[in-house]
């Protein structure tokens, strides 16, 4: 048997009962003959408490010290989980990111993993120990602690699975898999047995919060089999796997809604080469992630440009755009915060052409106005009024029969 | 100006208000021209919370994982304190024990510091930064985190002051200095302006809990000026310094009471060479610290032996003594848990001979029965009934006028 990596999220280690339950999961894998590497997140609401304390002391807490503070949460989780495993009669040892040399690019609060020294982990596994690794954290060359940003513990788990050539990376969470859409909005959402990396990447970047983009990217790049499953139930979850040919038969795999976005429209931009590229270059410099870009030429000299940004980045976007107003010469800027994105995702869209039409028809039938439309090879997104977002998602889900398992849909 | 090390205990960083107050202390020293190195303990009751969680998961939590857990408390404190200092407009950077290579002998939960890599600290001080170091923790050669045992943050601070050749090591705490005795029992206890390392060592090992033995030992060995003072008041505290000649004029500097001890008496021991040494060797092996040893020969063949141990180590002591019963052949073992030690300490005792007599007379006058007596060059200790302990301490304090400053006593 090989190595298995198990990752437990914050809710799965929130208290001692849940830690014991996670320990039983680990032990079951050991008893099934696996060498087990465990990654844990900070317990429950701890991260929020850190932010509260920090903000009381500094309105904009310095990133290095914030990472120094944050990283203690995962360190506590792995130590406690190790105790529970040892108490059950199995040997275990916990390591911080520093102790197993999770080297990163050193960017505080959003570092990327460059390498992991797996020798120490292998030595412990060979001695029959369960190895626990603190998620979400790494170090730079001077041993400063850096964290990996949102979903960072998933990234740690998938990166470890890649580095250790593990058979599987299990992501234990408070949902029992990945659903066609958010069941809180479309209550008959169906659980997927499997999904491709590309589809999962689109879902994640378009609003699904089960896993974050970075971890999926690492999984895709290193071909890591990721199993998203429930920490409280025994059922199989959803496998994220490389694309298989029969996947294309499923036209739309899932749908998402993204509420915390704002649409920015610039009118009367000089329609000359490089001008629009310059706008996005400046926004990137200010670390504003942009999506849903649409451009309309209103004359040979002038164009309008719309795009969406996360509401958290809206201020940075506004400042940047004001600074470059003269340079790129636009006439007007309008910002609409009361919008939402509704998207459908599916690798089958590459070969099936009726998806856009079906989506727009379902939204029209539900009397939902579409502000802008963007698409990729495997997704279509519409910006709608935020008040209509849930209704829009429900309409789209019904149209694509997302209440049924993939094999049982009509078209 | 030189370097000053400031140590803030758990109560001095218990919440954000107190952290801000500690930050103001730090900044004041910076404004006075010092390069400041700060050591902080875990916040308030955090250590107790860790123990509660750990014990729920393992009745006897494994030491390595316990140290992994504990060390996060100090890491949080230094990060938060750094934020408060930075927010006030001063530059600061925090380091874990690992980051400044506080190398230890690697004994979990009671490691001893072997060396500190001060180069990194000096570099940051030269850039004008306040350097914060997590107390209580170090690493072994494999970067496993180890903690330094009770009073470990004091030890970190004093060891850092020694390694950095600091002008002074300030210990900020919730009392405003070292008193002649515990003011909760003898309410007129007087604050001492200064005390010698040797006296402080005796007070600490005989029950004073203001500072623990290990930190004072390090201070003595490296001649570090230690200033114990209040984190909330501006008043001068107590200086712990090398012995000065005029100190001998003060016969008794302080008095202590030690309640959590038990007296063990072995009767009818074989009175042959090496037998008693063997008993204490076995107890030492079981990590039982012994004090107050008295031996009485009852015949040429037989002797009785009494000594005290901490109540926490009583079980280990009993087990050890049962195991070696045949080997050392004693007849009977009696254990008395309802006892306490009352002691007086003073370097002047080396040259003044009436201390013992005066102490016994004061206890006799208060009708307190003395179970056993032991003494060192600078201390005398009596074991008394626990119910009489406070009365005994008060009698002794009154006899030696410990309500008056050292210079104003009669005899």
Domains in chain B, ordered, with CATH?
3-174 (3.40.1160.10), 255-405 (3.30.2130.10)
Which of B201, B182, B200 lies closest to B256 in space, CA to CA? Answer: B182
Average pLDDT of A332-356? Answer: 91
pLDDT surpassing 80 at residue A410: no
Per the prediction, chain A carries an average pLDDT of 93
| Residue-level pLDDT at A245 | 75
pLDDT surpassing 60 at residue B411: no
| Residue-level pLDDT at B328 | 85
* Backbone torsions φ then ψ of A89, nearest 5 degrees: 95, 15
| Residue-level pLDDT at B410 | 75
- A contact test, residue of B80, B100, B109, B130 with most A CBs within 10 A: B80
| Residue-level pLDDT at B69 | 97
| Residue-level pLDDT at B212 | 87
Which of A329, A339, A349, A332 lies closest to A309 in space, CA to CA? Answer: A339
CB pairs under 8 A between A and B: 107
Residues 6 or more apart whose Cβ sits within 8 Å of residue A136: A41, A42, A70, A71, A73, A74, A147, A148, A152, A153, A155, A156
Average pLDDT of B282-296? Answer: 88
In the block, tokens 């000065």 appear at B244
pLDDT tens, residue by residue, B3-41: 999 999 999 999 999 999 999 999 999 999 999 999 999
Q: Which residues of A touch B19 (CB under 8 A)?
A: 57
pLDDT surpassing 90 at residue A326: no
CA distances for A260 relative to A294, A336, A342, angstroms: 19, 11, 12
Q: Which residues of B touch A79 (CB under 8 A)?
A: 54, 65-66, 68-69
| Residue-level pLDDT at B241 | 93
Q: Tell me the nearest-neighbour CA distance from A103 into chain B, angstroms.
A: 15
pLDDT tens, residue by residue, A273-289: 888 888 999 998 888 88
Interchain proximity B79–A66, CB inside 8 Å: yes
| Residue-level pLDDT at A250 | 82
Q: Give the residues across from A132 on adjacent strands.
A: A38, A94
Residues 6 or more apart whose Cβ sits within 8 Å of residue B193: B236, B238, B239, B405, B406
Average pLDDT of A197-221? Answer: 91
| Residue-level pLDDT at B258 | 93
| Residue-level pLDDT at A292 | 86
User: Could you give the dihedral angle defined by the CA atoms of residues A239, A241, A244 and A249, in that order, rounded to the nearest 10 degrees?
Assistant: 50
What is the 8-class DSSP label of residue B189?
A: P
Question: Please, which pLDDT band fits residue B150 given cuts at 50, 70 and 90?
Answer: confident
Higher pLDDT: A42 or B250? It is A42
Which of B411, B332, B342 lies closest to B382 in space, CA to CA? Answer: B342
CA dihedral sign, ordered A361, A363, A368, A373: negative
- Residue in chain A lying closest to B23 (CA): A57
Average pLDDT of A336-363? Answer: 91
| Residue-level pLDDT at A194 | 94
pLDDT tens, residue by residue, B152-209: 999 999 999 999 999 999 999 988 999 999 999 999 999 999 999 999 999 998 888 8
- A contact test, residue of B40, B61, B83, B89 with most A CBs within 10 A: B83
Structure tokens belonging to residue B99: 């980051």
Structure tokens belonging to residue B234: 């501006």
For the ranges A161-165, B245-249, B288-292, the maximum mean pLDDT occurs at: A161-165
Structure tokens belonging to residue B216: 């004072």
Residue B160 and residue B113 in contact, taking contact as beta carbons nearer than 8 Å:
no
Cross-chain CB nearest to B16 (options A53, A64, A144): A53
Residues 6 or more apart whose Cβ sits within 8 Å of residue B126: none
Residue B385 and residue B339 in contact, taking contact as beta carbons nearer than 8 Å:
yes
Give the separation between CA A295 and CA A274, rounded to whole angstroms. 14
User: Could you give the dihedral angle defined by the CA atoms of residues A375, A379, A385 and A386, in that order, rounded to the nearest 10 degrees?
Assistant: -140
Question: Please, which pLDDT band fits residue A42 given cuts at 50, 70 and 90?
Answer: very high
The bridge status of strand B3-8 relative to strand B168-173 is parallel
Cross-chain CB nearest to B75 (options A62, A66, A72): A72
SS3 A226: strand
The DSSP secondary structure of B285-341, one letter per residue, reads: HTT--EEEEEEEESSSSEEEEEEEEEGGGHHHHHHHHHHTHHHHT-SEEEEEEEEEE
- A contact test, residue of B16, B57, B91, B129 with most A CBs within 10 A: B57
Q: Tell me the nearest-neighbour CA distance from B50 into chain A, angstroms.
A: 9
Q: Tell me the nearest-neighbour CA distance from A113 into chain B, angstroms.
A: 19
Cross-chain CB nearest to B83 (options A61, A76, A96): A61
**Helix, strand, coil shares, percent, chain A, to 5:** 40, 30, 35
Average pLDDT of A155-178? Answer: 96
Interchain proximity B69–A86, CB inside 8 Å: no
| Residue-level pLDDT at B360 | 93
SS3 B253: coil
Q: Tell me the nearest-neighbour CA distance from B359 into chain A, angstroms.
A: 50
Interchain proximity B68–A62, CB inside 8 Å: no
| Residue-level pLDDT at B352 | 81
| Residue-level pLDDT at A56 | 97
Which of A7, A2, A4, A3 lies closest to A134 in space, CA to CA? Answer: A7
Q: Which residues of A touch B61 (CB under 8 A)?
A: 83
Q: Which residues of B touch A19 (CB under 8 A)?
A: 57
Interchain proximity A58–B83, CB inside 8 Å: yes
Per the prediction, chain B carries an average pLDDT of 93
Q: Which residues of A touch B73 (CB under 8 A)?
A: 72
pLDDT tens, residue by residue, A128-138: 999 999 999 99
Higher pLDDT: B325 or A155? It is A155
| Residue-level pLDDT at A100 | 97
Task: Give CB contacts under 8 A, 24+ apart, made by A97-101.
Answer: A97/A71, A97/A133, A97/A134, A97/A137, A97/A138, A97/A139, A97/A145, A97/A156, A98/A137, A98/A139, A98/A143, A98/A145, A98/B98, A98/B143, A99/B143, A99/B144, A100/A133, A101/A139
Average pLDDT of B348-368? Answer: 90
Q: Which residues of A touch B93 (CB under 8 A)?
A: 64-65
Question: Please, which pLDDT band fits residue B406 given cuts at 50, 70 and 90?
Answer: confident
pLDDT surpassing 60 at residue A411: no
Cross-chain CB nearest to A16 (options B56, B98, B144): B56
pLDDT tens, residue by residue, A67-101: 999 999 999 999 999 999 999 999 999 999 999 99
Interchain proximity B65–A83, CB inside 8 Å: yes
Q: Which residues of A touch B143 (CB under 8 A)?
A: 98-99
Least confident segment among A133-137, A241-245, B190-194, B218-222: A241-245
The DSSP secondary structure of B1-18, one letter per residue, reads: --EEEEEE-GGGGSSHHH
pLDDT surpassing 70 at residue B116: yes
Average pLDDT of A45-50? Answer: 92
- Residue in chain A lying closest to B87 (CA): A58
Task: Give the B-side interface with A, CB within 8 Å.
Answer: 16, 19-20, 50, 53-54, 56-59, 61-62, 64-66, 68-69, 71-73, 75-76, 78-80, 82-84, 86-87, 92-94, 96, 98-99, 143-145
């Amino acid at each position: 048997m090989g190595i298995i990596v198990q990752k437990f999220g914050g809710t799965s280690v929130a208290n001692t009962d849940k830690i014991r339950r996670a320990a039983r999961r680990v032990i079951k894998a050991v008893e099934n003959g696996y060498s087990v590497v465990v990654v844990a997140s900070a317990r429950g609401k701890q991260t929020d408490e850190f932010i509260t304390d920090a903000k009381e002391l500094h309105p904009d807490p310095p990133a290095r010290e914030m990472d120094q503070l944050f990283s203690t949460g995962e360190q506590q989780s792995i130590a406690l989980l190790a105790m529970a495993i040892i108490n059950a009669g199995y040997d275990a040892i916990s390591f911080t990111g520093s102790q197993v040399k999770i080297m990163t690019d050193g960017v505080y609060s959003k570092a990327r993993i460059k390498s992991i020294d797996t020798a120490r982990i292998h030595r412990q596994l060979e001695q029959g120990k369960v190895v626990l690794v603190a998620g979400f954290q790494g170090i730079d060359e001077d041993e400063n602690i850096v964290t990996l940003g949102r979903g960072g513990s998933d990234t740690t788990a998938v990166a470890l699975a890649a580095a250790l050539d593990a058979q599987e990376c299990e992501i234990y969470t408070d949902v029992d898999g990945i659903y066609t859409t958010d069941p809180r909005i479309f209550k008959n959402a169906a659980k997927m047995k499997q999904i491709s990396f590309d589809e999962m990447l689109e879902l994640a970047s378009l609003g699904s919060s089960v896993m974050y983009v970075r971890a999926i990217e690492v999984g895709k790049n290193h071909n890591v089999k990721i199993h998203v499953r429930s920490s409280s139930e025994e059922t199989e979850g959803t496998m994220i796997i490389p694309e298989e040919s029969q996947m294309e038969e499923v036209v739309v795999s899932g749908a998402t809604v993204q509420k915390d976005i704002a649409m920015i429209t610039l009118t009367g931009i000089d329609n000359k080469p490089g001008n629009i590229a310059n706008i996005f270059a400046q926004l990137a410099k200010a670390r504003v992630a942009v999506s849903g870009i649409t451009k309309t030429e209103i004359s040979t000299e002038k164009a309008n440009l719309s795009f969406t940004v996360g509401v958290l980045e809206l201020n940075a976007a506004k400042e940047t755009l004001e600074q470059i107003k003269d340079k790129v010469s636009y006439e007007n800027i309008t910002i609409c915060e009361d919008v939402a994105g509704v998207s459908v995702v599916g690798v089958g869209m590459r070969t099936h052409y009726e998806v856009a039409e079906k989506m727009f028809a379902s939204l029209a039938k539900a009397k939902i106005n579409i502000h802008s439309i963007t698409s990729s090879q495997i997704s279509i997104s519409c910006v709608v009024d935020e008040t209509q977002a849930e209704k829009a998602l429900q309409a789209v889900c019904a149209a694509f029969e997302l209440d049924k398992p993939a094999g049982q849909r009509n078209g």
